[in-house]
Every structure is written in C-alpha cells, then in structure tokens.
Amino acid sequence: QQQVKQSPQSLIVQKGGIPIINCAYENTAFDYFPWYQQFPGKGPALLIAIRPDVSEKKEGRFTISFNKSAKQFSLHIMDSQPGDSATYFCAASRGGGADGLTFGKGTHLIIQP
Amino acid sequence: SQTIHQWPATLVQPVGSPLSLECTVEGTSNPNLYWYRQAAGRGLQLLFYSVGIGQISSEVPQNLSASRPQDRQFILSSKKLLLSDSGFYLCARSSGSGNEQFFGPGTRLTVL
C-alpha cells in the first residue's frame, strides 16, 4: 500500500517557469511533510518542510502549499533555473518521526534553458 | 557540523556473498539512525531504524540485517546477497527535534 502518492513522474519546464509537484497522503496520523531534492549519484537533500497547522511555507524560491482536508501538499519552484533540474521527493512522517519517513516515488524535473 | 559518512561508496558483489555497509555520524549524540534503499528510478524504502545502541527496528522482512554497535555507527549486513538486493543504500540521521532527516552520500551496490 503506497501511503504517499506523487505526481507527475516527470516534468519539463522552461527556465523561469513554475514547476508544480503534487503529493497526496492517506494516513491522517502524518504530521510532518518534507520535500527532498536529489541529484544523480547523491543522497537526497532536505529542501523545505511543513506541518499541518499552516497552509503555506516559503523558503527562497521554494514554496509548499498544504491542504489538510484534501490530504494533499505540493511544491512550487519560483523562477526555475536549469540548476534546479533534479529528482524531487515528497515524504511524510508521524509522531516525532522516530520510525522514519514514507516517501513518494519521485518526480524527475528538467528545466530547459 | 553534523556529517554522515558511508563506506564504501560503490560495491560490486556476486550473488550469495556477504555484505557489510557502514554508516558513521559526526557532531551529534544519540541520533536516530536509518537505512533506506532506493531502487533504480524509484523512491526510498525504509529498511531499518535505530533509536539507540543495540535497538533495531525492521520495516521490511528480507535477508538484510542491521546493527548499531556504537552510538554513532550503524551497519547494514547480509549473509547471502540476492540479485534483488542491488540498489542505492542511504543512511540517514534525525535532528534533535526528531522529524528532520538528513542523508549521507549513499552506497551503490550492484549484485551480479
């Protein structure tokens, strides 16, 4: 059972555009929702994270929108650059996160110059 | 700074051979530690986590095992590798507040 569904699987956007990646979760016990960026051959790097008590969080060019009633959250990348080309993963955890993260399957993002 | 080391970076092993991957963490005490596996083109799957020395929880039944002999050391092992064990193995630690997880550079394992 996949508890975090991520879409799209791949995405191509022109430089300066705003790619949007969506995730939906099933487990209402989840209370922490991070996004990770991964370059080929490297470990994932934490980008930004949100908790259900807020509907939006911005850090630099990255924004998370969160809809608790719909059990959905999304990542927006403003003014996208070719250097943002990477694989992005959403994830979720519960109760302090000691028992680990549940990941989506990832989105391969390409920003064309 | 808090750093995660993984060794080796890459490994090619024959089917049926043993495995030992090491993860060490610097700059923090009593971290929660995790092993994830990433198959080609797929997301990360949690394999094991540990909240302290000698404490291991398994998420997926398989021929892998984990051990935590020291506070900042986490080891992933197998007695006999299968072809399906190939993948990118990632060690992670959690922050003091619990939820934030930070990943190491990974070990690329190919089983032939």
What are A67-109's pLDDT values in tens digits?
999 999 999 999 999 999 999 999 999 877 777 899 999 999 9
Closest residue in B to A89 (Cα) is B43
Whole-angstrom CA distances from A99 to A69, A86, B5, B72 are 24, 27, 21, 18
Q: Residue B94's beta-bridge partner residues?
A: B101
- Asked if the Cβ–Cβ distance from B100 to A44 is below 8 Å, we say no
- Decide which of A2 and B101 is more confident: B101
Query: Using one digit for the tens of pLDDT, what is the confidence trace for B32-76?
Result: 999 999 987 678 999 999 999 999 998 886 899 999 999 999 999
Question: Is any Cβ of chain B less than 8 angstroms from the Cβ of A89?
Answer: yes
Best mutation target, A87, A103, A105, A107, to test chain B (most B CBs within 10 A):
A103
Say how many residues make up chain B.
112
